[in-house]
Structure 1
Amino acid sequence: MIIILIMSPFIVIGLIPLLVGLHYYNEGKKYASESKIIEGEIVDIVKGVKVLDSPQSWCPVIKYWDERSNSYLLYKSSTGHTLKSKYTIGNKIELRHLYTDKGVDIRANTPMDVYGLSRQFMVVGAIITSISVIIMIAFLIIL
């Protein structure tokens, strides 16, 4: 019983990121199933709000066709670090587009932008929890 009490905080420490990751992964799956893929064109790359002159501080401006307004709209991507290193002005890029109650949700069509860090949270949580459970079972078997 003492071992269970000692190891329970470590199990909880592993369960928290596991559950948080699972929650955001499910949100990402819902977003991926409801959104549609549109094609945009990079028309400009502008300086972002970051101080350093690294690829992360530059954000591409993407022109895409919006069906509701029946016109071209501009989208300033916040994922400049993934786009600037791979694309240049004039290149086409796939975007995920979804109308929500709060407005339009646009993301780049990459797993990191759709699911975020949810997969990494789930893996870390599962590893920490399984190690804690294995140690707890080993102690119970030894005693």
Structure 2
Amino acid sequence: MATDRVVCGSSSEIGREQLQEHDSEAKILRDRFGLSAISIAESEASKSGMEISKVVVSCITDSAFKFTEGLAKDLQLFAQHANRKCVNMEDVILSAHRNEHMSRYLRTFSNDLKAKDPPSKRKRKKEAKNNDKITVSAHV
């Protein structure tokens, strides 16, 4: 078939290619994150009428990236522990349990999101589940 792709090479060569691709994607993400952190730091400094040195910006960027990597790993572990493949809001709130202020803020944010969610969507999901149960039990 013309659409089939044949992969040639040893498994170690294929593994190296995937690793290099992953490394290049990680570098792009790190660079984009860094640019955003630099922009935020410089913006906040200018709002305060201060200047910020490049060394300080570099330290802030590196620290923020390392914190974010750790947070992502924690969230992944929380989801895995709950036998889920996706991270949910409770995982995010749990990650902030050591910081009472942040935990409270995240709970408020979560509740606000739930309040904005139209009740009709939530009811339709529940009704669909109930209908499925009724249908299943009617066949038994």
| TM-score where L is the length of structure 1 | 0.27
Greater RCO (Cα-Cα under 8 Å, separation 6 or more) = 1
| TM-score where L is the length of structure 2 | 0.28
More helix by share: 2
